[in-house]
Amino acid sequence: MTAQGGGEGIQPSGFLLELSLDWLVLRASENVHHLLGESHVTLIDEPLGRFVHAQAIHDLRNLFSRLSGTTGIARAYRVRLTDDPDLFDIAFQQIEERVLVEAVPSPEEGFGEAFGSVGGLADGLAVEAGKALFDAAARRMRALTAFDRVTLLAGRFKSTSSRTGVPFRSGANATLSEDFPRLVPDSSAVTVPIFPREDEDTVAAHALLCAPSAEQAAELNDRGFASTMRVPMTIEGRKVAEFRLAHTKPLRPRFELHAAAELFAQMFAMRLEIDRSRAA
């Protein structure tokens, strides 16, 4: 299976489960007891519904049924999984014959703010064209996400928006390898292994929070950043551009913010196609 990230586990800010298509647990990150109150060893070959509230599993499976057959990522927010009062945001996707489920603690405040900003930020792109369109998109993505630096790459075009005072190092985040994980909240965090560790038929490398390799973490630190986010853009399955975001300090992972960034990116991709058609 094709790897999208560099590490052999998940970052400790999240939890990971690999499920069969009938939702039996095949693999689990070794920190999952903090999520479900059960050892990762206990979960293996058991139905996820044994450990999760019936309403939560019902809602997640309904959402998954609408995702089936696509290559997208579904998300659910503020989900209560067990008797524990803590709420979690969930992201899941189907990769070949497995369901990849990730969970992070829900933020206590600010839910919906990112999505609420996307429409207005995207509307401002309608009056731009050419290089100005790229510059405007980079600025608006930084406004949406509050990352210190945003670089937009599309073929030979590149535009960077950077917070005042952020030191610039040659290359910055523009040259990060394309297989870098999509979310790295803290490049210095210790990777959590996934059990069973010897399983070669894994899809964990496709996880949003797949751990970066040691080389990738060093690459990020060498550029003066502690966290990063990649947001590729596709049109009809063809990659047309990518936003690469970086921050000088560690950040808490927020699935809602990543989803909002994806939505803005796709709206920009459509605007880019219109601009290119007019210029042709």
Flag whether pLDDT at 253 surpasses 60: yes
Helix 130-145, helix 113-123: angle, nearest 10: 170
- Which range among 19-33, 167-181, 236-250, 258-272 shows the weakest confidence by mean pLDDT? 167-181
Residue 168 confidence (pLDDT) above 70 = no
CB 93 within 8 A of CB 67: yes
**How does pLDDT run across 39-59, given as a tens digit for each residue?**
999 999 999 999 999 999 999
pLDDT band at 203 (very low <50, low <70, confident <90, very high): confident
Residue ranges in 87-238 assigned as alpha helix (H)? 113-123, 130-145, 214-222
Predicted pLDDT of residue 280: 63
**What's the average model confidence in pLDDT over 20-41?**
95
pLDDT value at position 177? Answer: 63
The CATH number for 9-105, chosen from 3.30.450.20, 1.10.260.40, 3.10.20.740, 3.40.50.1780, is 3.30.450.20
SS3 (DSSP) at 240: strand
Confidence of residue 2 (pLDDT cuts 50, 70, 90): very low
Q: pLDDT class for 5, splitting at 50, 70, 90?
A: very low
Residue 21 clears pLDDT 70, i.e. is over it:
yes
Token pair listed for 176: 């990060």
Q: What pLDDT does residue 139 have?
A: 93
CATH match of 113-279 with 3.30.1360.150: no
Return the pLDDT at 68: 59
Domain boundaries in the chain? 9-105, 113-279
Q: Of 162-166, 174-178, 192-196, which range is least confident?
A: 174-178
8 A C-beta contact, residue 193 and residue 263: no
Asked if the model's pLDDT at residue 175 lies above 60, the reply is no
Q: How far apart are CA 85 and CA 83, in angstroms?
A: 6
- The residue whose two tokens read 């950040």 is 251
Q: What is the pLDDT of residue 70?
A: 55
3-state SS assignment for residue 173: helix
Token code pair at residue 277: 């058609």
Lowest mean pLDDT among 8-22, 99-113, 165-179, 187-201: 165-179
Please report which helix (H) or strand (E) contains residue 241, including its range.
Answer: strand 238-247
| CB-based contacts of 35, cutoff 8 Å, min separation 6 | 15, 81, 88, 103
Q: What separation in angstroms does the CA of 137 have from each of 10, 143, 262?
A: 31, 10, 13
pLDDT value for 117: 85
How far lies 278's CA from each of 124, 125, 158, 273, 275, in Å? 18, 15, 20, 9, 5
Nearest Cα neighbor of 100 from 202, 185, 198, 9 is: 202
d(CA 250, CA 234): 28
When pLDDT is cut at 50, 70 and 90, the band that residue 120 belongs to is confident
Average pLDDT, the chain: 86
Residue 260 in contact with residue 254, Cβ under 8 Å? no
pLDDT of 65 above 90:
no
Instruction: State the CB neighbour count (10 A cutoff) for residue 71.
Output: 10
Q: 254 pLDDT exceeds 60?
A: yes
More confident residue, 278 or 245: 245
Q: Residue 266 corresponds to which tokens in the numbers above?
A: 């796709």
Let me know if the fold of 9-105 is the same as that of 113-279.
Answer: yes
Q: Which two tokens stand for residue 170?
A: 């040659």
